[in-house]
A and B are shown apart, each in its own frame.
Chain A
Amino acid sequence: MKRIDLHPLPVRVWHWINATSFIVLIVTGVQIRYRELVNIMEFRNAVDIHNDFGFILIGNFFIWLLFYLFSGKIKLYIPELNPKKLIAGSINQAKFYGYGIFMGDPNPHHPMPDDKFNPMQKTAYLAIMVLLIPAQIITGLLLWDVKLFQKWTTLAGGLKIVDSVHVFLFLFFTSFMFVHIYLATLGHTPFAHIKAMFTGYEELEEERHH
C-alpha cells in the first residue's frame, strides 16, 4: 500500500485544535443561545469557556495562516483560476458525490501533497478560511467586549446585526461539521482520512488498474 505524506505536523496540530475548538464553541454557543432548551452547564461558565476557546481559535487561525503563507502551501487552497475549468472540475466532482460514488466510479481527484483538495474543496475551504472564519472571529471579538468595540459594532450596523452574523456562521459551521465528518469517512476505509489526519500519511488504495 502506497503512503503519501499529506498532512504536515503544523497542519495536523492546527486541524485538531480547530476541531476541538469548533466542538466546544458549538456546544457552549448552543448553551448560551438556547438556555431554556439545553442545560449542560451554567450560563456564566458557558460564556467563559466560549470566550476562552474563541481566543484559542483566533490563535489557531494565525498558526494556519502563517504556516500556509510562509510554506507557500497556500496555493493548495487557490482554486482553478480559469472559470470554465473551475466549473467543469466542480461539476465533475459533484457528479462523483451525487452519482459516481454510488455506482462505484473512482474519485476524480486524488489527493496529493501539492494538490490536496478537489475543486469543490478548494472553493469551499478558501471561502471558509478567508471569509467565514475571519468573519466569525471579528464578530466574536465585537461581542466579547461590546463596549470596547462599540464604534465598530455600530459601523457594522449594530449589535443585532453583528450577533446575527455570528449566529448564522455558528449555524453554518454546525451544519458543516456533519458534512465534513461524513466526507471524512469516504476514504477507502471509513477511518482512512481520519487516521491520516493523526499520522499525516494517507494510505492510497491500490488502483484497480495497477
Chain B
Amino acid sequence: MLKNSVVQNALHMPRLNRRGLPGITGYGSFMEGVLKKSEGIECRGLNSVWALLLGPLLGMLYVVFLPLVFLLFVLMVLPGMVMAKSETVELQGDSQICMGCHVSHGMTKKFKNNEEISISVDAKQLVASVHSFLGCTDCHQGISMGDHPSGREFKSREDFVASTAKACRSCHSDETLMKKRMHYQAITQAKAPPCVECHGSHDVKRVAQWKPSLDGNQYCLTCHKKNLLSSANGGKESRTVNEAQLKHSVHNNHKCLDCHSSFSKEKHPIGHFANRRSQSIAFSDACKRCHADKFKMVEGSIHFSMLKSGNLNAPVCTDCHGFHNVSPKATYETLSGVPCKNCHKEVFSAYMESVHGKAKFSGHNNAPICSSCHRAHDIKVTALTGKIKSACLGCHKNAEDLHRKWLPNTALHLDNISCAVCHSPDAGRGIYLRLVNKDTGEPFTEEQIKKLLGKNYNDFNGKMSPHGGIDDTALYNIVGRLNKKGADARVTFLGRMEVGKGIDAHQLTFKQKAIRECDRCHSANSDFFKNVTVAIIKADGKSVRFSAKQEVLGSLFAILPVNQFYVLGSTRLKLLDFVGVLMVMGGAAVPLVHLTIRKLTAPIRKRRKEGHK
C-alpha cells in the first residue's frame, strides 16, 4: 500500500513542481501532502484518467529527458563558452588583430637566403605560455598595421630570430640576466645563441619546467648542442658538442656523465679548470677508467715524460683521439686520420715522400705509418737507441741476411749505424758519442752524473759546452773524473752513426737508392764524421747534447774515452799516421843511406882489396 502511494505521488510531481522544487529539508511535509492529495484523485472521474496517462509521460520528460539535455548542454556548450571567453579576454592588446591572420595554418615567410619559416601562430600555445599577458608587438617591436614586415627583409632566419630576441632584453634586464651563469654569455658574446633557442618563442617556458624530464645525453645536449662558449678563460672556448659526431664515435653508447663524471643534473661545476688545456689533461683520468692498460703504456712514453716535466703542450689522450669524435683504431692508422701529423708536420711530410708513405698513399694498407714503428701509446725516444732498428727488422725480417751477402761485419754495422743513415741517402748524418756504463752498456744518465757529482755538477756541465765544442782532453777528463768516483761509475763513450734530424730519419727511400758504397764512410774525406755530438741520456730517454770537435774521433787522448768507436779509414789516429810516415821513411832511408855510404866508400874497399893483392 505504501509502495503504491509513493509511485502515484511520484507521478504527480509536475503539479507540485509548478510551485517550485521543495528543499530537501521539506521533503517529509511534501510526502505528507502527496499522500493527502492522492486520496482526492479517486473522486474526480474522467479527468483523473487523463491525468493518469499524461502524468507518467510528463514525469519521463522531467526525470530523464531534461536532465539529459542539460548534461549535453554542459558538456558541449560550456567549453566553447570558456574558450570564447579566453580568446577574447586573454589575447592582449593588438594580438587580436595579428591573430586575425596569423592563426591561419600554412602562412610562411621567405628570407633573403630563401630560408622559409612558418609564421602561423598557435594561439593556444601563446596563452599557455608564461608570456600570455603580452601582446604580439611587445616582442615583435617595430611592427604595426602601418609598418608590417611584409616589405621588410631579413637576411636569414638567424638574423630574424636574433633581431626579434633583442626584445627579450627590454623586460629581462642585463643585470638580472648576468646573475645567471648561462645567461652571462648571452649578454657578453656576440655569437651566443638567442634567447629563443633555449626558451622557445610563442610557447616560451621556464627551462626548469621542461628540461629535467629529458633523459641522459639529451639533458646535456639541450644546451651543449647549441653554439655555446665557456664563460671561463675569457669566454673564448667552445663548449658546443657536435651531436652528429657523438653519434658516429665509438663512444656513441656512452652517457655524457660516463666521462664528465663530476657533472650531473644536480651538479654543473663551473670554473673547474683554468682553461681547455688543463681540462684536456685532467680528462685523461676519465679515459684511464676504461683504458687502464693503454694508459699504463702512455705513462712510460716520451709524451707523458714531457707532460710530467711541465710541458703542458705534450699530447694527452684527447689530442690524438679527439673527445666527442673518438674513432675506431683503424682511423688513426690512415694518412688522413693519423694524429701524429698535427704536431710532427715536417716529419710527416718527409714520411709522405718516403718509400713507406708512397706505398701507403698508393693503397698498400699494410705499409707502415707512424705507430707501426713508434708504437701508439708507449712512444719512446728513438734517437740514439736500437729501438727503431727492431721496428725495421720487425717487417724486414731477412734484412740482416741480405746485408750479410755484401756487407762485412754486418752485425757491427747494423748495431752502430741506424737504418736511415744508408736508406735515407740525402739525410744529414753525424756521430753521436753516448756516455754509457762500461760494464753494462746501459746509458749513464744525467741523473746519475748529478747524483755522483752533487754540487760540482754545474761545473761539470759548464765544461761540456766549451766554445767550439768539446775537445779530446775534455772528453778524457770527463771519463776520468767519473771513473774516479768508483766501480759504479765506470763509464765510456760509445759511438753511433745517426741521421741528423727526425726529418732525415723519415726520408727512407727505395733500397736501390740506398748507400752501398763503402767509401762514403770509410774515407778520411767522408762528410759523415764532421758533426760530432756528445749525448748524455736522461732518465726519460731524451738526451742532452753537446757539440764536440771532429778531432776527438782521431785523437790519442780519445783512445780511452772513446775506445770502442773506430771506423776504418775515417777515424784513424792522426798520431799513428805521423809515426807511420816516420817509420816508413826511416825504413826506406836505411837502404838509401847505407847504399850511398857504400857507394862513397867503394874506393876505400877497392884500395884495401888491391893492397891485399
- Interface residues of chain A, those whose CB is within 8 Å of chain B, are 32-36, 42-44, 47-48, 51, 97, 101-104, 145-147, 153-154, 157-161, 163-164, 167-168, 171-172, 174-179, 181-182, 208
> How many angstroms from the CA of A47 to the CA of B410 in the assembled complex?
13
Instruction: Confirm or deny: B467 has a beta carbon within 8 angstroms of a beta carbon on chain A.
Output: no
Instruction: Confirm or deny: B87 has a beta carbon within 8 angstroms of a beta carbon on chain A.
Output: no
Whether the pair B576, A178 counts as a contact (CB closer than 8 A) is no
Instruction: Confirm or deny: B285 has a beta carbon within 8 angstroms of a beta carbon on chain A.
Output: no
> How many angstroms from the CA of A33 to the CA of B583 in the assembled complex?
16
Instruction: Confirm or deny: B77 has a beta carbon within 8 angstroms of a beta carbon on chain A.
Output: no
B583: contacting residue among A48, A171, A182, CB under 8 A: A171
Whether the pair B590, A35 counts as a contact (CB closer than 8 A) is no
Whether the pair B583, A32 counts as a contact (CB closer than 8 A) is no
> How many angstroms from the CA of A189 to the CA of B171 in the assembled complex?
131
The number of residue pairs between A and B whose CB atoms lie closer than 8 Å in the complex comes to 118
Whether the pair A147, B598 counts as a contact (CB closer than 8 A) is no
Chain B neighbourhood of A172, CB < 8 A: 583
Whether the pair B587, A103 counts as a contact (CB closer than 8 A) is no
- Residues of chain B from 577 to 600 with CB closer than 8 A to chain A in the complex: 579-580, 583-584, 586-588, 590-591, 594-595, 597-598
Chain A neighbourhood of B511, CB < 8 A: none
Whether the pair A174, B583 counts as a contact (CB closer than 8 A) is yes
A146-B412, A167-B580 known; A160 vs B566 contact (CB < 8 Å): yes
Chain B neighbourhood of A44, CB < 8 A: 406, 408, 518
Whether the pair A164, B583 counts as a contact (CB closer than 8 A) is no
Task: Give chain A nearest CB distance to B250 CB in angstroms.
Answer: 47
A160: contacting residue among B559, B569, B609, CB under 8 A: B559
> How many angstroms from the CA of A35 to the CA of B586 in the assembled complex?
23
Instruction: Confirm or deny: B158 has a beta carbon within 8 angstroms of a beta carbon on chain A.
Output: no
Task: Give chain B nearest CB distance to A159 CB in angstroms.
Answer: 5
A43-B519, A159-B566 known; A179 vs B587 contact (CB < 8 Å): yes
Task: Give chain B nearest CB distance to A56 CB in angstroms.
Answer: 17
Chain B neighbourhood of A47, CB < 8 A: 408, 518, 568
Chain B neighbourhood of A42, CB < 8 A: 518
Task: Give chain B nearest CB distance to A163 CB in angstroms.
Answer: 5
- Interface residues of chain B, those whose CB is within 8 Å of chain A, are 406, 408-409, 411-412, 415, 492, 518-519, 522-525, 558-560, 562-566, 568-569, 572-573, 576, 579-580, 583-584, 586-588, 590-591, 594-595, 597-598, 601, 604-605, 608-609, 612
New A-B contacts (11) at CB < 8 Å, excluding given A35-B522, A36-B525, A167-B580: A33-B568, A35-B524, A51-B408, A97-B594, A102-B604, A103-B601, A178-B588, A179-B587, A182-B590, A182-B594, A208-B612
> How many angstroms from the CA of A42 to the CA of B519 in the assembled complex?
8
> How many angstroms from the CA of A182 to the CA of B590 in the assembled complex?
8
> How many angstroms from the CA of A72 to the CA of B409 in the assembled complex?
40
> How many angstroms from the CA of A147 to the CA of B595 in the assembled complex?
47
Whether the pair B569, A35 counts as a contact (CB closer than 8 A) is yes
A145-B409, A167-B580, A208-B612 known; A158 vs B564 contact (CB < 8 Å): yes
> How many angstroms from the CA of A47 to the CA of B605 in the assembled complex?
49
Chain B neighbourhood of A179, CB < 8 A: 587, 590-591
Task: Give chain A nearest CB distance to B425 CB in angstroms.
Answer: 18
Residue among B406, B522, B601 with the most chain A CB within 10 A?
B522
> How many angstroms from the CA of A163 to the CA of B559 in the assembled complex?
11
> How many angstroms from the CA of A147 to the CA of B414 in the assembled complex?
11
> How many angstroms from the CA of A164 to the CA of B572 in the assembled complex?
8
Task: Give chain A nearest CB distance to B4 CB in angstroms.
Answer: 133
Chain A neighbourhood of B408, CB < 8 A: 44, 47-48, 51
> How many angstroms from the CA of A127 to the CA of B409 in the assembled complex?
31
Chain B neighbourhood of A174, CB < 8 A: 580, 583-584, 587
> How many angstroms from the CA of A146 to the CA of B409 in the assembled complex?
7
Chain A neighbourhood of B597, CB < 8 A: 102
Chain B neighbourhood of A159, CB < 8 A: 563-566
Minimal Cβ-Cβ distance residue in A for B571? A160
Task: Give chain B nearest CB distance to A37 CB in angstroms.
Answer: 8
> How many angstroms from the CA of A157 to the CA of B561 in the assembled complex?
11
Whether the pair B525, A104 counts as a contact (CB closer than 8 A) is no
Whether the pair A168, B576 counts as a contact (CB closer than 8 A) is yes
A104-B608, A171-B584 known; A33 vs B569 contact (CB < 8 Å): yes
Chain A neighbourhood of B594, CB < 8 A: 97, 182
Whether the pair B569, A34 counts as a contact (CB closer than 8 A) is yes
> How many angstroms from the CA of A167 to the CA of B556 in the assembled complex?
14
Task: Give chain B nearest CB distance to A207 CB in angstroms.
Answer: 12
Chain A neighbourhood of B519, CB < 8 A: 35, 43
Task: Give chain A nearest CB distance to B518 CB in angstroms.
Answer: 4
Whether the pair B576, A102 counts as a contact (CB closer than 8 A) is no
Chain A neighbourhood of B595, CB < 8 A: 182
Whether the pair B576, A147 counts as a contact (CB closer than 8 A) is no
Minimal Cβ-Cβ distance residue in B for A103? B604
Chain A neighbourhood of B584, CB < 8 A: 171, 174-175, 178
Whether the pair B604, A175 counts as a contact (CB closer than 8 A) is no
A163: contacting residue among B566, B579, B605, CB under 8 A: B566
Task: Give chain A nearest CB distance to B133 CB in angstroms.
Answer: 94
Whether the pair A147, B411 counts as a contact (CB closer than 8 A) is yes
Task: Give chain A nearest CB distance to B392 CB in angstroms.
Answer: 19
Minimal Cβ-Cβ distance residue in B for A148? B411
Task: Give chain B nearest CB distance to A170 CB in angstroms.
Answer: 8
Task: Give chain A nearest CB distance to B605 CB in angstroms.
Answer: 4
Q: Which 8 residue pairs spanning A and B have beta carbons closest together?
A: A158-B563, A175-B587, A182-B591, A104-B605, A102-B601, A178-B587, A43-B518, A171-B580
